[in-house]
Every structure is written in structure tokens, then in C-alpha cells.
Structure 1
């Protein structure tokens, strides 16, 4: 170690407080970078594991392949594991006590399939030959016969058909009923006898409304004939975007008729064939990484800039005894290496430990709230550590570069006299007379101080601006990310849907509102009608259609389909209150009030975008005439007219919003009765939607008491997945905000407190010429205000520009209106003055009691 580096180490030891503050600042920066990288990897790992636990571990499925194609797929260089599966078909379960599940559904796997798909064995073992099966525990519980391991069962296996279907019905199709009862049949293809060798839990992939209990059978590749076909399910060697092209080439080469992908699992690997989504993800990642680096650089740069300022005389003395520019520059770089060598390992460990503690506290909540089988665990990859080290080292280098260059240019005389930082002219410190008139001499002195110490003032303002930009842009990113996730999910705000035919009456549904574990319920009746809307009121997307083809208008009006939805009185009252409507004030004689959902989101498959738009441009108090359209004759008959009581984007439980060209009109059940009272000849459908604290138990209770003509759809799983994604995104982004806030506060505190400590001689001089303690306090308060105002003047416009860039990135995949986060803006305005004021108060406490003589002797070395 040369003499200059030894002096640098000694200087760091002698200035323990500043060195410690710098180290802590770098540790926070490194911890944040590490935490963000670890959070992302860990969340993706959880989503992968949960997807595999629910749907199995596979990537591509080639459908209906024969033995030669199977061999070719097995030998393909991209194939790691090959699973064979086949849906053998349905057979009647005569002993079933559940009239909605009168069948068994036989699904076959080879041995690899038993490993890769979530089959949970309760008793016995898995099949090893084609005449062995494992049955679902649900069969034992719901059948009249208590099946045991070792029983032999004979089934006539075939596919489900109705007179109207052109393809066999599947497990996603519920039992088909008509007015006369069940209207489907099984067309037998084979008769087979099986031996029960095990009992399994009900498979997660079996829909709750499916008509068949799952039975798992073994498929032996060696026994397949040339004419038999199965599904070849592949786990690939390496998951990347080429999986789509490789699968396409292989399917074309082998003449395979159909293929599909496990898109949910592939999405968590960052693999998707939607280019716009890739653009969105990469651009957002770039913006967020840029925010992290800028925030870190601003913190560390200020620390090293202040260090160089403090060491000015020290560097001047080195120059006076022969230190070269390179040696002076390298002394700052060496300081950065020492700080980084200490801070980076501690920061990485701190970031990982912080994430571990966070996961420890939120895992129980996530598992209980969302009923997930997998838990968050800290996943640290070599790439995570490399990225954290590289970005941290790059950040420290960039932070030290400018101070190092500045140090190399310090001349001996200027450094020893300390004239470099303060070069004054009357013009530079001139202030407006208005400042003294409005705020007094203390404000004028405070403003002159800021102008006199321009570089320190600029460094502090820069720190504040960066903090404002960091907080607002991350808050904007958080809200937009959550909004994008919500837009990408279906409007699943219920657990169970119960429906029937158009003859279903309310008396069939209402008793089900009080079954076990129901927490919320909505009974609604839906009617399909039409309306003709004026051209100036239609959605913007439709105006473009009209421009291209004016003939779509009829008498200057566009034809809308309308879903009129009548809620039960209790649900309607709660919904009206939620959208801000006083139901007592909207009922007038001869007026049928309605709440119109005018803002919706929908997927545009041509653009590969989720778009949020207004379906109609109208105002409260306007009327909409409703018509019933006869599709066979094309004739329309006037039904009634409704008056708009409110326009809203809030959606009641169970309502699926319309696309442009359609409207959702919400009324009470009594209003719907009046609306359809005059000889309405159309059909209406009744639905019951339930939220439950235990959806599976609620479904079982419903199955025991419901009428045969009702269908139960338990979509808790879909809703659970939507809520899981949103919750995980919220934890990730709010954790990110906490980290950003920590680095911002540390940045401001470090800059202001160090700046104040460097002004001891200045404060002593002011006190020596008669400034009172109260005057001193007022001066510092005004300085705080000037800092805050200047920071906001620059910070808010820069934040808005970054927000617009983020919005444009989101707009590649999601289209919705841009809006500023006003609540966060108000919060940051208040927070800036609180943080600056607090930092000032803390700092001046240490200089208040200093001796004037000692303060005048103070030199910043």
C-alpha cells in the first residue's frame, strides 16, 4: 500500500462519523438492489411451484400422436421428460348419490405422468398395469357402496354426447339438462374390468362442476397399437422463447394435428409469445433498474462529494509535497474500494436477510388467506448475487468518478486556502427585496447562505429531487402494476355461481343464500335487450367504425346490446350506496331509475391489449329507450325507458361487463319487474352468486339441498389465482416503496446533516455579530422552506415525465387513461418539508451549544 492510500485509510479512521454514514448509505443501496433481485426471483419461484402443484410440471403437449410420433418426440433434442396421457372416457357410476356427478372419468398416465402431475395418494399404491386403477376419495364418500382396495370394478367406457354436439363433451362441460331432465348419453366404446389398488385425493384439475369423478389408470407405451393415439406431454431441457418455434417445427415435421402450451407456467419463466407483453416487461424493468441506480448513485455520490470537500485541505497538502493528479484521483477511488469492500458483502447479506424476515411474517397470512399449498422461500441464485455485486460496484464507481476528477484538479494553494467551493460576487448572492419585506432579515440571510454555498445547496436539492422522483414514480408504478394485473384478470368477485334455465324461479335460489359458510350473496335476474344510442354518445372505438362504415348507423343511432340486471333489494341498496346514489331520492312517479356501468375493460385480441374505455358518453338524468329484438324477423318492440341515476365503474358481484357496443344497466328487482310488466315476451335468466369462507364446504351443502335443474359452478380456484397474483404484486411493490423511501430519507438526512456540520464557522460568525437564537431558528426554518420549494419545482415535473414514460410502457399491453397519483403527490409535498425540517432540527441541535470562539477556529479538514 502506497503512502497516499495509507493516508486515505487514516483519514477514514479519523472521520469515523462520516465514514460510518457513507458505509450505511452504501449498505442500504446494496441491500435494496439485492432485495429487489431476490424478491423477483423468489416470487417467480413461488408462482412456478404453485402452478406445478396445481396443474403439473409440463411445458408442451402434442395431441393425438401415434407410436412413431412418440418415438420421434422422445428422441428430439429439446425433450427432457416425456409423459403419455389419454382421456379414456366416462362410465356410469350407478352407486353415485350426487345427481350432478353420475359418472366416473378415467384418465390414463404412464409412470412419468404419476411423477409430474399432482396426484396425492391417500392409501395403497399407484397403478402398475393397465387393469389397475386408483379412485378418488370423493367416490368413496359419495357412492352408496364403500369401495375398498382390492375391489374389482367393471365399466362400460365411452364419451358423452347430446344430439346437438358435434364433439364429445369434456370435464369442463357440466351435466347437460333440459326441461325433461338429463339430455346427454354415454356412447359405449369398450368394456373394462379394473382392480382398485389405491385411493387418491380429488385431483386439483377436476372442475367442481364436472359430472365425473376422476379415476387414474396406467398406460403402457409398449402395449400401444399403431392405430392408438395418446397425448405426448413434454418437459423441455431449457425453457426460453424458442420453445414456441421448436414445438411448431416439430409438429410440422411429424404432421401432428394439434399442440398447446402450459402458458401459465411458461409465463413465470418469463416466456411468452406475446411480443407486446415482452416490450412492456423489459421497458418497465429498465425504468425500475434505472430508478434504483439513480437513487443509489445520488446517495453515494453525495457522500463522496462531501468527503472530497472535507478533504480539500488534506488533498492540497498532498499536492504541495508532490502528489500527482493520478495519485489524488486514485485516493478517492481507493476510498470507494474500501467502502465497497465493507458495504457490499454486508448489504447483500442484509438484503437477503431482510427478505427472509419479510417472507417469514407474510407466509402464514398468504397461506391462510389464499389457501395456497406452497410458501414463499428465499431463492438466491448466482445470477442474483452477480447482478447485486455488479450493479453495486458500478454504482460506487459512477458515484466516485466525478469527485475523483474534482480531487485530481485541486491545486495546492486553492485547497489550502479553501477558496474552491465559495467564489462570490455581489450578483451571485443578490436577493429580492421582497424576501426581506415578506419574511424578514433572517429569510434574506438564509437565502444568501444558500447562494453562497451553492454547491452544497445544489447537492441537497439534487438529493431531494431524486427522492421525490423515486417515491412518486415507484408509487405510480405500483398502482399501475396492480391496475394492469386487475385488468388482465376476469371480473371474478365471487366464489360460486348457481344458474338454471329460463324457467328457474326465485324460490329455487333464495334458500341457497343461507347455506354454510356464505359471507355474501347476490341474487340477480338478467334480461337481454337493445337500445339505439346517438352517434355523439357512443364509445370512441365505435366512432372509428362509423367513420369506416356509416351504414352501421340507423337514423343516426348505433345499435347497442343491453344487459339489464335486476339485483335483489338488499344487494341493490348496498350497491347504490357504494356508487353514491340515495335510493330514496331517485324514485319518482313514472321514472324507472337505473345505474349504468359506463367504464369497462376488455381484451382486444387483434392488438393484444387489455383496454379500459367508456362504453357510452352520457350524463345523469338522461333516458335510454329499451327494445326487444326478434332475431328471426328483425322486428323490434319498445319495452320501456330507464333514467340514468348514476354512471359508475364499480361492478356488482357476478356481473360481467360489456364490450364497446354494449351496456350493463343495474336496477333493483322491483324496478326490473316494472320494466318488463307490459307483456314482455323475451326470456330472463336468474343467477345466484356467493362468496364463502369455505367454498368447497359451501358447495357440498348446496349439492345436498338444491333443485336438480340448477347448476353449481365453483370458481374459487380462478378467483384465488387472481387474488394471489395481485397480493404477491402488492407485497413486492410496497416492499419496494419501503426500500426506496429508506434510501431517500437516508440520502436527504446524510446530505443535510453533513452540510450543517460543515457550516459551524459560518454559524459562529452569525452569532458573533448578534444573531439571537430565535433569529437563528427562523433562518434555518426559511432555509428548509427554500430547499423544499426548489426541490418540488424540479422534482414534480421530472416525476411526471417519468410517469408518462411508464404509462407508455404499460400502454404496449394495457390501454387505459393516464391519471396522476394526486394523493401521493400531496403526501410527498408534506413529507419533503417534514424530512428537511427534521434533518435541520437534528443537525442544528449539535451546533447550537458550540462555543463561538471554537466555532470561528473550526476548519473542515
Structure 2
């Protein structure tokens, strides 16, 4: 070790306080980078395990393969495991109490199927031969048909086929029982008689649709029967999940003439693999932007420590130069200091990051289990690549942070360093202050401003720290709100658990069914709506954003200068309408006027654009409250509107009552009273309206069973609870960690500002002692420091807020590829930032001043270092 490096280590040891502060800063930065990288892997791991637990583990499905094709799939080098499945068909379940579920659905698995798919054995054992079977507990619970282990079950297995269509294609579990008032619209075509011995019972599979007409029963597959005629489905678990899975599967299917295959896109997405190049690109952009924000914040944190170190060590470096140290040696001295600090901080920081994220998981997992009902918990996932990436990013961050001050140190001449004039420039022009400063704030403010101008480098470091903190907080909070808004757009209108369609023209029976459905004890809230369909011709000046573009591109879409819209008209009962009117600011009395009909019009809609594969929020029509729209029938044969009715707009809104789904760019949604709605039935719905009941329930699955137990052919039940629950769980988990990240960023930023300001003020002890020695009173000194705090805050906001807005707009521009909505500033977060900046700066100043006030003036004037 050369003499310069030995002196550097000695200097670090003698200045233990500053060295400790720098090491802590680097540890925090490394810990944050490691924690974020670990969090990403651990979160993806949770999603993978949760999906596998609920849906099973497979990556590619090859449908209807014969024995030769199966051999090729098994021999493929990418294949780790193959699960074979065959849907043998349906059989009638005698004495079933559930008329909507009259069948057994028989599926065969090979031995891997029982391991890879989420099949929970509640009693007995799994079948080991093709003449053994396990039954679902749901048969006893729901159909009230009872069997025992060891019973013999003989059934006629066949296919379901629709009776009112020419196609003879069989229908499966995804299709509910087809029936009308006149009876079933399907029949069971029996193909074979099968006899099984019951070996056990399983819990109702999570992959069985709630509307499925058959209770799942499972048997073992006889693989010897697979040939050119008897085909099976092959679910493949890949050896390594990479982006090439799509090309490899396509190539395998082409080479072996496999006509049908599909991917488990949801699970693959949790591995970071998707066949949507646009989505991958957006993920890379967003990830890169967030990582860049983290690195910039880390560089700022560490850079400040090294910059202050160089400023403090300027005399020491000048002395080295005076005895022959070259520019390269001075630069290497600072870089060596960074290497020493990095060598200590890197392992400690990485360990701290892992321990911190592990502790966070320990607390979070209880929340996930109790509040979100997740079966899996978060665990710390560490891979060699993660350690390597974290180490490289941290080393690059430390190098950049040390390199810039090192270059500055190398350029300091011996005379400048010893006299310490590098940071202080005493020219009249540089220290000139506006006269208005003294008039408004007094001579103390003028002295403060001159000091800041004299020590420009130091105050710039403090302002830079504040700016970085502002950008970090606003960027992450904006990303969080954008993510929440994106999910909200994709889920808009799905605010209920169960949707029930009532197909009954008799009003009395319909009301009885509605009353029965809404009276179940688990139902906490309900909303009954009827709707009819109409049309409306909208003039060019009133067209929405998208339709206006279409009309300009293709004027032939217009009819006499008007654009044809669809119009869905909903009725709400008096109580629901009154609540909805109060929410959107409409007068209920106006809505009940049949002579001059009025309604609440939805003018902003969100929908999924399948062509561009994005969610879009768009203004559907440009109208004002009090204007009117014209409803009509539109005869597409003659091209003429008929039966026109003018409707006054009582209110415009983007809010929807429970159950109402957001429309699309050419669809109007109108809510009216029952009286007005009934007066239009003969005109717009001579066959009767469609009635829908939307329910929120404390136990949606039990409510669904209760409705099915009504055994009414007039009801069709759709349970959206499961899907919505998964989406809400994911959003909650993401929000927890992103808000946790905001807290971490905020804490680090505050620590950074405290460190920068307090250390900067500590370096100015001699300056403050000099001011006090020439007669500055404590009150004047406090006033001077208050002005500095104000100056720091205003300066930081003037730079930080515009930069933050630019970063937020970049994020919005990237997200616009996936979700389209207008850019808006987060005003509340901006207010928080403005308040926080002044609070933090003031607190930092007060903390530093409390220490400075205790210093003796003589000792401070003699002091060379901290």
C-alpha cells in the first residue's frame, strides 16, 4: 500500500464521525437496491406459487395428441414433466337436488396430474387404476347425493350437445346448463357404460367453474389406450421458463402436426415471460425508469457524503500536492476512500437489505393470510444473479458518487487548497444581492444570501439533495396512483359479487324471484335494474373524442351529418335512483316527470380496446346538463330513425351505480326512473326488458348455492367474486409494497437532507463564530438561518417540481401504451411535498443550530476540522 493510501486510511480513522456517516449512507443505499431487487423476485415467486396452488402448474398445453405426438412432446429437451388429462364426458347424477347441476363430469389424470393440479384429498386415496374414482365433496353438500368409500358406481358416460343448433359439437364445463321455460336445450349423448370403485373424496376443485353443470370426479388414466383414435391433452411443465417458450412450442407443434396448443399466459407472466412484445417493452421502460430513480437517489445520497468529504479534506489534499502528490494520486486518494468504504458497506448493506425485506415479509405475511386469504406467503428469494446485479449496481453507484468529487479534488492546486479558496469566490459580482432582500427580510437575510453565494458549492449540494428527494417521492407516488387507476379502469363496473339474469316475462313472477334473491341472509346489498336498447344520432359538434376522430377520417360513417350511437337505457327503483341522483347532483323530481322525460347520462367511459390491446378512458359525448339527446329505433334496412323521443339530461357523470358496466366509445348509458322506463317499453322493448339483479354478499359462494337451490329455470347466475377477489388481492399486495417503498424513499431522503444540512453547517462553524465575534446577536443569527431555510426550500421547489412533472409525464406517456387516460397532476401530493420540504429543512436547521449554539466561539475560530 502506497503512502497516499495509508494517509487516506489514517484520515478516515481520525475523522470517525464523518466516516461513519458516509458508511451509513452507503449501507442504506446498497440495502435499498438489494431490497428492491429481492422484493421483485420474491413478489413474482409469491404470484407463481399462489397461481400453482389454485390453478395447477403447467406452461404449455397440447390438445388432442396421439401416441406419436405424445412421445415427441415427452422427448423434447425443454420438457421437464408431462401431465396427461382426458375429459371422458358427462353422466347423469341420479336424485340430484340441484336442477342446474344434474351431471357428473368425469376426467382422467395420469399420476402426475394428481400432483401438479390443485386436487385436495379430503378422505381416502387417489385412484391408481382406470376402474377407480374419487368424487367431489360438493356432490353430498350441494346435490345431497351420498356415497361411501368402497361403493361401486356404474354410469353411462357421454357428451352434452345442444338440441336447437345444427352443429353437433360437444359442449364442456365452461357452458352452464342450457334450459328454457319449455325444458332443456341440450341432451346427453351416451357413449359408454363405465364401472368404478370409489377410493376417496376430494374438495371441490378451484378450477371447476361455479356455473358448471357437472360435479367433478376423477379417475386414473390408462396410458396404454392412447393411440391414433384415442387422444389426450398433454400439459407440459418446462425445464426452464424463458421467452423462447413460445417459439419452442410453436416449432414442436409444427414439426409434429399438433393443431391445437395454448399457453398458461397468467403463470408465464409471473415468470416475467409474455408473448406481447409491446407489454415487455412497457415493462422494461417502467422498470428502467424506476431503477434509474433509485440509482439517482442513491448517487445523490453517497455523492453528498464524498463531496462534503472532499470539501473538508481540501487542505489535506493541498498539503499532499505541496509535497509532490500528482493529480492522479489525489484523485486515486478519493477513489481509494470510496473503495474502502464500499468494501465495508457492500456486504453489510446487502445483508441489511435482505434482513430488512425478510422482516417486512414476516409482518406482511400475517396480513396476507388474514385479510387477503392467500394460501401462500412471501419468502425471501435470493439467487446468485440477484446478488451479482445488486453488487454491480451498488459498485457502479459508489464509483459514480466518488468519481465526481475525485475529479474535483485532482484539480485543486496546492495554494488554493491550503488557503481554502476553491469554494469561496470573493468577487463583487458573485456576492451581489438584490436590494429588495434587505428591504423585505432585513440585513440578516442579506448576510445569509451573501454567505450562500460565497459558499455556492455547499448550498448547491443541499439544494440538489432536496431536489432529488422531491423527484423521488413524487415519481413513486405518481406511479402508484397510475397503477391504481389502471387497475380501476380494468375493473370499472365490477363492484358486485353475483350477477343474476331473470328471464321471465310475467312481472309478478319476476318480482317474486327478485324478492327471494335479495332476501338471502348473506346478501348485504343489492341493486335491481332493467334495461332496453335504443339508438341516438349525435351531431358532429357533440361527438366524443374517439368518434370525432373516426368521423374526420371517414365522413361516410355519418348519417346526415350525425353519428349513430347505441344507447342502453337502465331503470332504477325509487330508492336506488334517489341515492344515485344525490351522488351525481341531479334533481330526483325532474327524473320522475313522464311528460318531459329526463335521465342521468354517463359522458365518460372506460373500455378495453381489443385492436390496440389497451384500456381506454374517453369522453363519449360532449353535452351539458340541461341539453337533450334523442332516442330512436334505427332501421338499418332503410337507414331511417323511427320512434324518436327527446330526453333531457338531468346530470352528466362518470359514476356508475352497482352493477352497471362502463360503455364504449359509441355507446350511451342513460339512467331513468321506473315510471319513465315503463312508458317506453311498448316503443323500444315490445318483447319485454332484460332484468338483472346485482348482489354483494358476505359469502358469495353460499349465496350462489342458495340461488341454485331455488331450482328456477328463469334464473342464470354468474359469480364474479372469485376473479374480482384475485384482482383485488393483487392490487392490495402491490399497493402495500409500493407504499412501503414510498416510506423507505421518504425516510432515506429525510436522512439525506438532515445529513447534508447538518454536516454543511458543521463545516461553517468558524464562519458562524466569526459573525458572532463581530456582534451578531442570537436573534439576528436565528433570523439569518431562517432565511437560509426559506431560500433552500424555494430553490429546491423551483427545480424539483418541474423535473418531477417531466418524470411523471414520461411515466404517463409509457403507461399510455397500456391504459389510455388524460394526464393530471397529483395536486395533493404536490401540496404534501411543499409542506414537507419546509418542515424538513427547518427541522434540519434547528437540529444543526442546537449543536452549533453550544460551541465556544474561540474554539470554533481555532478549529480546522469537524
Q: 1:159-209, CA deviations, whole angstroms, 9 ceiling, x for partnerless residues?
A: 112223433222111111112132221111112111111100000011111
Q: Which moved further from structure 2: 634-643 or 352-361? A: 634-643
Residue 571 of structure 2 aligns with which residue? 566
Match of 1:295, SS state, is helix
Residue 607 of structure 1 aligns with which residue? 612
Alpha-carbon distance, 1:19 to partner? 1.8
Q: 1:202-249, CA deviations, whole angstroms, 9 ceiling, x for partnerless residues?
A: 000111111110011211222223311111111122212211111112
Are positions 1:92 and 2:97 aligned together? no
Alpha-carbon distance, 1:122 to partner? 0.9
> What is the alpha-carbon distance in structure 2 between the residues aligned to residue 591 and residue 11 of structure 1?
88
Residue 516 of structure 1 aligns with which residue? 521
> What is the alpha-carbon distance in structure 2 between the residues aligned to residue 107 and residue 566 of structure 1?
44
Match of 2:623, SS state, is coil
Alpha-carbon distance, 1:399 to partner? 0.3
Query: CA 1:380/1:503 → structure 2, altered by over 3 Å: closer, same or farther?
Result: farther
Are positions 1:723 and 2:742 aligned together? no
> What is the alpha-carbon distance in structure 1 between the residues aligned to residue 459 and residue 712 of structure 2?
77
- For residue 423 of structure 1, the aligned residue among 416, 422, 425 is 425
- For residue 539 of structure 1, the aligned residue among 541, 544, 548 is 544
Alpha-carbon distance, 1:719 to partner? 0.5
Match of 2:134, SS state, is strand
Query: CA 1:600/1:831 → structure 2, altered by over 3 Å: closer, same or farther?
Result: same
CA contact (8 A) 2:448 2:787 kept: yes
Match of 2:89, SS state, is strand
Residue 311 of structure 2 aligns with which residue? 309
Residue 659 of structure 1 aligns with which residue? 664
Are positions 1:41 and 2:41 aligned together? yes
Alpha-carbon distance, 1:65 to partner? 1.4
> What is the alpha-carbon distance in structure 1 between the residues aligned to residue 689 and residue 504 of structure 2?
6
CA contact (8 A) 2:161 2:189 kept: yes
Match of 2:505, SS state, is coil
CA contact (8 A) 2:142 2:705 kept: no
Alpha-carbon distance, 1:144 to partner? 4.4
Match of 1:352, SS state, is helix
Q: 1:752-787, CA deviations, whole angstroms, 9 ceiling, x for partnerless residues?
A: 111111111111122222222111111111111111
Residue 3 of structure 2 aligns with which residue? 3
Alpha-carbon distance, 1:633 to partner? 7.7
CA contact (8 A) 1:628 1:682 kept: no
Residue 30 of structure 1 aligns with which residue? 30
- For residue 556 of structure 2, the aligned residue among 545, 551, 555 is 551
CA contact (8 A) 2:599 2:648 kept: yes
> What is the alpha-carbon distance in structure 2 between the residues aligned to residue 327 and residue 491 of structure 1?
67
Q: Which moved further from structure 2: 301-310 or 385-394? A: 385-394
- Unaligned runs of at least 5 residues, structure 1: none
Residue 380 of structure 1 aligns with which residue? 382
Are positions 1:254 and 2:259 aligned together? no
> What is the alpha-carbon distance in structure 1 between the residues aligned to residue 424 and residue 667 of structure 2?
69
> What is the alpha-carbon distance in structure 2 between the residues aligned to residue 58 and residue 655 of structure 1?
36
Residue 19 of structure 1 aligns with which residue? 19
Alpha-carbon distance, 1:118 to partner? 0.6
Q: 1:257-278, CA deviations, whole angstroms, 9 ceiling, x for partnerless residues?
A: 2111101001111111111111
> What is the alpha-carbon distance in structure 2 between the residues aligned to residue 172 and residue 47 of structure 1?
25
Alpha-carbon distance, 1:385 to partner? 1.8
Query: CA 1:585/1:768 → structure 2, altered by over 3 Å: closer, same or farther?
Result: farther
Query: CA 1:464/1:197 → structure 2, altered by over 3 Å: closer, same or farther?
Result: same
Matches within 5 A, 1:677-688: 681-688=686-693
Match of 1:575, SS state, is helix
CA contact (8 A) 1:56 1:118 kept: yes
Alpha-carbon distance, 1:657 to partner? 1.7
CA contact (8 A) 2:592 2:673 kept: no
Q: 1:710-746, CA deviations, whole angstroms, 9 ceiling, x for partnerless residues?
A: 1222221110111122112212221221121122112
CA contact (8 A) 1:176 1:183 kept: yes
- For residue 175 of structure 1, the aligned residue among 160, 174, 177 is 177
Residue 408 of structure 1 aligns with which residue? 410
Alpha-carbon distance, 1:7 to partner? 2.6
Q: 1:369-412, CA deviations, whole angstroms, 9 ceiling, x for partnerless residues?
A: 33222222222222222222111111111000011122223332
Residue 290 of structure 1 aligns with which residue? 292
Size of the aligned set, in residue pairs, is 861
> What is the alpha-carbon distance in structure 1 between the residues aligned to residue 454 and residue 594 of structure 2?
75
Query: CA 1:589/1:141 → structure 2, altered by over 3 Å: closer, same or farther?
Result: closer
Q: Which moved further from structure 2: 391-400 or 347-356? A: 347-356
Residue 221 of structure 1 aligns with which residue? 223
Match of 1:617, SS state, is coil
Match of 1:235, SS state, is strand
- Alignment TM-score, normalising by the size of structure 2: 0.96
> What is the alpha-carbon distance in structure 2 between the residues aligned to residue 589 and residue 93 of structure 1?
52
> What is the alpha-carbon distance in structure 1 between the residues aligned to residue 430 and residue 791 of structure 2?
16
Residue 457 of structure 1 aligns with which residue? 459
Q: Which moved further from structure 2: 638-647 or 306-315? A: 638-647
CA contact (8 A) 2:586 2:651 kept: yes
Match of 1:58, SS state, is coil
Residue 123 of structure 2 aligns with which residue? 123
- For residue 808 of structure 2, the aligned residue among 778, 793, 803 is 803
CA contact (8 A) 1:761 1:856 kept: yes
CA contact (8 A) 1:62 1:231 kept: yes
Q: 1:621-640, CA deviations, whole angstroms, 9 ceiling, x for partnerless residues?
A: 11122223467887654264
Query: CA 1:14/1:666 → structure 2, altered by over 3 Å: closer, same or farther?
Result: farther
Query: CA 1:194/1:630 → structure 2, altered by over 3 Å: closer, same or farther?
Result: farther
Alpha-carbon distance, 1:671 to partner? 4.2
Alpha-carbon distance, 1:580 to partner? 4.1
Q: 1:647-694, CA deviations, whole angstroms, 9 ceiling, x for partnerless residues?
A: 222232222222111112223434433454778525311111112222
Query: CA 1:752/1:580 → structure 2, altered by over 3 Å: closer, same or farther?
Result: farther
Q: Which moved further from structure 2: 224-233 or 194-203? A: 224-233
Residue 646 of structure 1 aligns with which residue? 651
> What is the alpha-carbon distance in structure 2 between the residues aligned to residue 337 and residue 446 of structure 1?
37
> What is the alpha-carbon distance in structure 2 between the residues aligned to residue 577 and residue 450 of structure 1?
56
Match of 2:643, SS state, is strand
Residue 761 of structure 1 aligns with which residue? 766
Q: Which moved further from structure 2: 680-689 or 129-138? A: 680-689
Matches within 5 A, 1:21-170: 21-165=21-165, 166=167, 167-170=169-172
CA contact (8 A) 1:639 1:678 kept: no
Matches within 5 A, 1:176-255: 176-255=178-257
> What is the alpha-carbon distance in structure 1 between the residues aligned to residue 104 and residue 635 of structure 2?
42
CA contact (8 A) 1:482 1:729 kept: no
> What is the alpha-carbon distance in structure 2 between the residues aligned to residue 357 and residue 351 of structure 1?
10
Match of 1:371, SS state, is coil
Residue 479 of structure 1 aligns with which residue? 481
CA contact (8 A) 1:29 1:347 kept: yes
- For residue 580 of structure 2, the aligned residue among 540, 556, 575 is 575
Alpha-carbon distance, 1:362 to partner? 2.4
Query: CA 1:589/1:603 → structure 2, altered by over 3 Å: closer, same or farther?
Result: closer
Match of 1:656, SS state, is coil
Query: CA 1:228/1:632 → structure 2, altered by over 3 Å: closer, same or farther?
Result: farther
CA contact (8 A) 1:506 1:686 kept: no
> What is the alpha-carbon distance in structure 2 between the residues aligned to residue 329 and residue 322 of structure 1?
14
Q: 1:501-525, CA deviations, whole angstroms, 9 ceiling, x for partnerless residues?
A: 1527132112322313222221111
CA contact (8 A) 1:566 1:672 kept: yes
CA-atom RMSD, angstroms? Answer: 2.1
Query: CA 1:201/1:49 → structure 2, altered by over 3 Å: closer, same or farther?
Result: same
> What is the alpha-carbon distance in structure 2 between the residues aligned to residue 142 and residue 419 of structure 1?
87
CA contact (8 A) 2:164 2:185 kept: no
> What is the alpha-carbon distance in structure 2 between the residues aligned to residue 603 and residue 627 of structure 1?
27
> What is the alpha-carbon distance in structure 2 between the residues aligned to residue 516 and residue 619 of structure 1?
43
